Copies of this chain bind each other. A is one copy, B any other.
C-alpha cells in the first residue's frame, strides 16, 4: 500500500507542504484535514476585505479544495477537525463536524499546520460575542457578519500591532469610529518608539483615537473598561498578537518551545519521527540572534511548509531561519522592519549602536516626493547590521528587503555603503535612503570605537 501523508490544517503551511510532497512522490496518498471552510487563503488580506478594498471573501482564496483535488490529487476534507494524535500507532483522531462522527486515520507521515489564533487577554467578558479575534477566514466572516448585524458605530481595537492597526484603518473605511488601546507607550511595539510615534501620528491624522500606556481591564456588553476610563463599543477587535495552535501536538508528547510553539529541527521535523510542523504553530530560529523565536507570518508559513514538503517527499531541504521581516501600510504611511530592534538586540546580548536618518522617497525635486525615515541597528565594534526599520511615504516599505538581504549575508554597515543600488529620480535620490542610513550608522560605529 502506498504511503499516506496526513496534513492537519489546510492553509499556507499545510498545503505548501502537501503540494511539494506531491511533486516528489507521485504514489503517495495525501489527505488534508481542515476544520474550517476554506483552504489556502490570504489571512493578510482580511483587513482589505473589511475596508471594502477587496469585494469578496472568495478572492482571498489562492487555491480551492477542488484545485488541490484535481491538480494535485490531494484529498482535502473541509470541516474535519483533528482532535488527537497518536504517535505510537501513527494515527490521528478526526471529528467530522457536519456528520458528527469520529474516526481514526493512519499516517506514515504527518504534517502539522494548525496555525495560530488571536491571543485573548485574561480579563472579564473577553468571551462575549462582541469581542472578536481575527486570524482565519472563518474569523473574518464572523467579524463581517457581526459588524453588518450590529451596524457598528464604534469599534475598539485592543493592541496596536500590525493586525490591530490594519483593522483599525479598515473599520474607519467601513464607516466606524475607531479607538485603539495599546499597553506600550507607542503604537507598533515591534518598532522602536521613535518610529512607532510616526505611525501613531498618522493614525491620529486619520481621526483614529489612539490611547497608549493603558490596558483593557474588562469587557461588558457595549462597553470596554480601561484602567482610567470606560469606552462605548459595538465591537472589540483583538490585535495583541497570535499564539500557536500547538495543544494537539503538545498533548501527543511532541516537544514545544518558545511561547508553546512546536519545536522543529532544521528540516521542519518535530521531536516525533515522521511528524513535521510549519507555520504559525511552529517555532523558528532567528537568523541574527541565533535563538529560537516565534514569528507568525504568512511568508514564514509558506517557506517552512515548502521545506517540510520537500523533506516529506524524500528530498533534502533545510530552513535557515527568520528575520521577522514584516511590512504594512497604515493611513498612507508605509512601515517595515527586519532583524532585531534596539531592545531585542540588547536582549540577545549584543552591544548595539543605532542611527536614524530622514530622506525622501523620490528625488527632492521630483513631484510626489515624500519623507522616509530609516533606522539601523548595528553591532558595536564589528559594525555588523543587526536590524532595520523604515517608515515613510509610497515606495518606502519594500526598501526593507535590501536590509533583509544584507542581514542574511551578515553584512556590516560599512560594507553596505558600497551596495550598487539603483537610482532614478522617480524612485529616490542618488544615495538611496538605505545607503544614507548605512553611512550614518557606520560613522556611529566608528565613533563608538
Which residues of A approach B to under 8 Å, CB–CB?
Answer: 12, 42, 44-45, 48, 53-54, 59-60, 62, 287, 297-300, 302-303, 319-320, 322-329, 336, 338, 363-367, 395, 397-402, 404-406, 408-409, 411, 415, 418-428, 430-432, 434
Q: Are A401 and B399 in contact (CB under 8 A)?
A: yes
Checking B60, B298, B328, B404 against A419 with a beta-carbon cut-off of 8 angstroms, the contacting residue is B404
Report the minimal beta-carbon distance from A79 to chain B, rounded to whole angstroms: 24
Q: Contacts A45-B366, A366-B45, A401-B432 given: A420-B287 contact, CB under 8 Å?
A: yes
**A327 to B430 Cα, complex, angstroms:** 11
Chain B residue numbers with a CB within 8 Å of A427 are: 327, 329, 397-398
With both beta carbons as reference points, the residue of chain B lying nearest to A60 in the complex is identified as B365
Indicate whether A44 sits within 8 Å of B422 (C-beta atoms), given known contacts A366-B53, A409-B411.
no
Query: Which residues of chain B have C-beta atoms less than 8 A from A402's C-beta?
Result: 401-402, 405
CB-CB nearest 9 A-B residue pairs: A327-B422, A409-B409, A59-B365, A405-B405, A323-B420, A401-B421, A325-B420, A327-B424, A299-B423
Please measure, in the bound complex, the distance between the C-alpha atom of A44 and the C-alpha atom of B421, giving whole angstroms: 15
Does A418 contact B320, Cβ atoms closer than 8 Å? yes
Q: Are A422 and B409 touching (Cβ within 8 A)?
A: no
Q: Which residues of the partner chain B approach A428 to less than 8 Å between Cβ atoms?
A: 398
- Give the distance to chain B from A213, nearest Cβ to Cβ, in Å: 27
Name 14 A/B residue pairs within 8 A (Cβ), A-sorted: A45-B365, A53-B366, A54-B366, A299-B421, A302-B430, A302-B431, A320-B418, A327-B424, A329-B427, A336-B422, A402-B402, A404-B420, A404-B421, A408-B419
Q: When the two chains form their complex, are residues B425 and A400 in contact, meaning their CB atoms are under 8 A apart?
A: no
A206 to chain B, nearest CB (A): 16
A323's closest neighbor in chain B, by CB? B420
How far apart sit A324 and B320, CA to CA, in the bound complex (Å)? 30
Task: Find out whether the CB atom of B422 lies under 8 angstroms from the CB atom of A338.
Answer: yes
Does A425 lie within 8 Å of B48, measured CB to CB? yes
Given A405-B402, A427-B398, the answer on whether A367 and B420 have CB atoms closer than 8 Å is no
B336 touching A44, Cβ below 8 Å? no
- Among A366, A426, A428, A432, the one with the most B-chain Cβ atoms within 10 Å of its Cβ is A426
Q: How far is the CA of A42 from the CA of B363 in the complex (A)?
A: 9
